[in-house]
Amino acid sequence: MLTEIDRVLLATPDAAGAAARWKALLGAEEAGRDTLPGLAARRTILRLGTSEIELLEPDGTGAVDDALKRRGRAHLFAAGATSPDPAEVARTAKAQGAAHARADGRDYLTLTIEGAPINFVISPEAERPQVGGIDFLYEATVLAADQAGAVAKIRDAFGLDETCFTTITSETFGYTGVLTLFEKGRLHRFEVITATDPDKTLGRYQAREGAGFYMAFAESRDLGAIARAAGGSGITIDRPDARPAHLNADQLWLHPPSLGGMMLGVSRPTMAWQWSGHPERVERIDA
């Protein structure tokens, strides 16, 4: 059983540069540095919200170096989730064909989706005080052409209950998706999306890159502070036309160069329920 998205892991040739961006834009705080021999990587750990951001820089030949050479740039390398029983999650995933390694007190799992390695890290549940400009991560997005096949792999590998899942369609961005919510009534999930318009950004990205992690999403009580830190560069803001600037926008996106290679969406509190099966939970912002 998975409970929360608790981290994202970026493969980067410049961890120091990426860390500076996360700190400047979102108020992330460095929590440690070490090495991950199993991935042949040097790791910088950042605290952000109640989640963690891991920046992985190659330390010789290994999975991180291979990923950077394959993609040719910094990118979202893996998504992390928590469980009260990571060993059971690993057993279930292995029985469904996932590759598995146990290291650093957690379980590394890799699913092959459309020929691409999709990496996950399962950790024990932990409580952390909130820091920085977001409250918590709640979503990691997988892009795949065969949406049904990718959803089935993720469902079976992690023993998820598909009665908790919900679907999403975006004409604006040109995709359909399935949100594989871990539990009813909570936002945490993997999202699987498929481009529907080859001429839009996502469609071009899918044609060029194939299957893989595309982005992550977080919640924040102060989107205005993030927008001010960005200074209008490398950011897209979704704000109703009539809403005053001093009030929260509904959501925003920090483009990959802004965070050293990964796109991050950020929604205001409760807003994500608009597309997560419970629009009645969205708190109104008047004026």
Per the structure, the complete domain to which residue 27 belongs is given by: 4-275
The answer to whether residue 102 sits within a structural domain is yes
CA distance 201 to 198: 8
The answer to whether residue 118 sits within a structural domain is yes
Regions in the chain scoring below 50 on pLDDT: none
The answer to whether residue 78 sits within a structural domain is yes
The answer to whether residue 31 sits within a structural domain is yes
Tokens standing for residue 230: 């960005």
Would you state the pLDDT for residue 287? 57
Would you state the pLDDT for residue 95? 98
Number of domains composing the chain: 1
Would you state the pLDDT for residue 286? 77
The answer to whether residue 286 sits within a structural domain is no
The answer to whether residue 232 sits within a structural domain is yes
Which residues fall within 8 angstroms of residue 14, CB to CB, at 6 or more apart?
57, 74, 260
The answer to whether residue 280 sits within a structural domain is no
The answer to whether residue 283 sits within a structural domain is no
Would you state the pLDDT for residue 245? 86
pTM: 0.96
CA distance 145 to 206: 8
CATH code of the domain in which 230 resides: 3.10.180.10
Tokens standing for residue 224: 């205005």
User: pLDDT (tens digit, 9 = 90+) per residue, 213-247?
Assistant: 999 999 999 999 999 999 989 999 999 999 998 89
